[in-house]
């Protein structure tokens, strides 16, 4: 049997929490938790260790239902989040509030199933579009600096680069799983949105076609994509173990852009009618003279922001604030990030004055978000992030390397 000493601090607790979150209000038995832990971590965890976390080490976090059966505390309560004036009432109990921001600790699909129809006006999210990279096993490897699905780049110019998921390693079965996941996500999300609500999803050139197909099949209208111009560490490598033999060859192009897919729930009647009734249907302009554009020159996430929110997929506030602002055409309604991570979307919404709701399953990241949201939201706007006009009037000549 496994022992506590073989695991990182908090790893057993987080694994138990993920297992119980998946089982919902019915909870799980000790045996089911043991099976989940062995699958997640690749080795058994002693029953005594699991019971210690359930009964002693995390008071108030887990609730005993009966002999050998537990659930997340409050998982069985169907409650309405008290909504101050101007806020939308949602089911569940937020684990964190700040200004106009609410954060829920839950499985996003299960949380969405509980929400009332027509309660969200826009979505901006950077989801786990490789899926496997955010399993407990791969997160444990990432946090221990061992890699696994994550590529841990070497330091560059004296700076340690952020980890990157290896999407080229995904199997056919994992790609099929990704497509099924996003179709299910789209189908569950659809009724929660008001007509005309836009959904902006960060993707990757290697898998964006699967995400796009899945959301289209779920009933969303494809409305193009926003191109984030940023040079990353992905691609540009010479053939592995043959770089001297083939010095003029790159296995794949160095990535200089990131796609953010844009979809819309069908409107009721005309766009003007939908705007009058639901406050949605279009995108908010930058100004009277400038519409929101689909190419945005971006810098990598800076060291200050990464110090605040150490998440491998953290995007810079300068970029996030622009796309979040655009998602509510009249500046009214609620923005949802169902894969909140360290809270960068929620912080951007707070910075531009929008109501926002985030959902995060991983307890470590949910705790990080609760600390990082006010700090990220308080950062001043930065110069240097611009939409690229069609004539190329505004563009950055040099974009730093990300990752």
Cα atoms in the Cβ-side hemisphere of radius 13 Å centred on 215:
25
How many of the other CB atoms lie within 10 Å of CB of 114? 13
- C-alpha to C-alpha distance for 224 and 51, rounded to whole angstroms: 50
User: For the segment 133-164, what is each residue's pLDDT rounded down to a tens digit?
Assistant: 445 555 555 555 555 554 444 444 444 445 54
- C-alpha to C-alpha distance for 145 and 243, rounded to whole angstroms: 25
Q: What is the pTM of this model?
A: 0.70
- C-alpha to C-alpha distance for 179 and 170, rounded to whole angstroms: 12
CB distance 401 to 231 below 8 Å: yes
- C-alpha to C-alpha distance for 71 and 284, rounded to whole angstroms: 42
Which domains, and CATH codes, for the chain? 4-72 (1.10.10), 96-402 (3.40.50.150)
Residue by residue, DSSP assigns 74-134 as TTT---B----TTPPP-BS--SEEETTEEEEES-HHHHHHHSPTT-EEEEEE---TTSGGG
- C-alpha to C-alpha distance for 395 and 291, rounded to whole angstroms: 16
User: For the segment 16-48, what is each residue's pLDDT rounded down to a tens digit?
Assistant: 887 887 776 667 888 888 888 887 777 788 888
Give the chain's residues under pLDDT 50.
1-4, 75-79, 131, 133-134, 150-161, 164, 166, 383-385, 390-403
- C-alpha to C-alpha distance for 324 and 350, rounded to whole angstroms: 10
Which whole-number Å values give the CA distances from 193 to 94, 115, 203, 305, 335, in the listed order? 20, 10, 21, 31, 10
Q: Who contacts 84 (Cβ-Cβ below 8 Å, separation ≥6)?
A: none
């Amino acid at each position: 049997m496994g022992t506590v000493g073989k695991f990182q601090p908090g790893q057993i607790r987080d694994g138990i929490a993920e297992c119980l979150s998946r089982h919902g209000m019915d909870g799980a038995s000790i045996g089911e938790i043991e099976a989940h832990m062995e699958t997640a971590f690749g080795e058994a965890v002693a029953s005594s260790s699991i019971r210690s976390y359930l009964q002693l080490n995390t008071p108030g976090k887990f609730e005993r239902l009966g002999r050998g059966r537990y659930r997340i505390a409050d998982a069985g309560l169907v409650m309405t989040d008290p909504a101050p004036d101007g806020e939308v009432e949602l089911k569940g109990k937020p684990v964190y509030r700040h200004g106009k921001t609410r954060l829920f600790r839950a499985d996003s699909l299960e949380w969405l199933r509980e929400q009332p129809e027509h309660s969200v006006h826009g979505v901006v999210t950077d989801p786990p579009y490789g899926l496997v990279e955010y399993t407990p096993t791969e997160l444990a490897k990432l946090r221990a600096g061992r890699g696994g699905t994550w590529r841990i780049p070497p330091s560059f110019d004296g700076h340690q680069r952020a980890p990157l998921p290896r999407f080229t390693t995904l199997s056919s079965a994992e790609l099929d799983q990704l497509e099924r996941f996003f179709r299910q996500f789209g189908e569950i999300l659809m009724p929660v949105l008001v007509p005309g609500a836009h959904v902006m999803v960060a993707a990757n050139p290697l898998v964006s076609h699967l995400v796009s197909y899945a959301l289209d099949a779920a009933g969303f209208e494809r409305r193009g994509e926003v191109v984030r111009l940023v040079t990353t560490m992905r691609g540009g490598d010479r053939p592995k173990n043959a770089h001297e033999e083939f010095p003029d060859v790159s296995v794949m192009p160095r990535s200089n852009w990131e796609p953010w897919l844009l979809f819309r729930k069908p409107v009721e009647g005309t766009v003007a009618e939908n705007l009058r009734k639901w406050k949605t249907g279009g995108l908010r302009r930058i100004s009277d003279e400038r519409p929101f554009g689909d190419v945005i020159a971006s810098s990598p996430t800076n060291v200050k922001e990464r110090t605040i929110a150490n998440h491998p997929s953290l995007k810079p506030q300068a970029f996030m604030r622009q796309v979040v602002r655009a998602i509510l055409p009249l500046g009214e309604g609620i923005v949802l990030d169902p894969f909140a991570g360290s809270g960068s979307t929620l912080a951007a919404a707070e910075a531009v004055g929008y109501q926002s709701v985030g959902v995060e399953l991983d307890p470590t990241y949910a705790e990080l978000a609760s600390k990082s949201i006010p700090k990220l939201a308080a950062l001043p706007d930065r110069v240097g992030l611009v939409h690229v006009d069609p004539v190329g009037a505004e563009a950055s000549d040099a974009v730093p390397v990300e990752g």
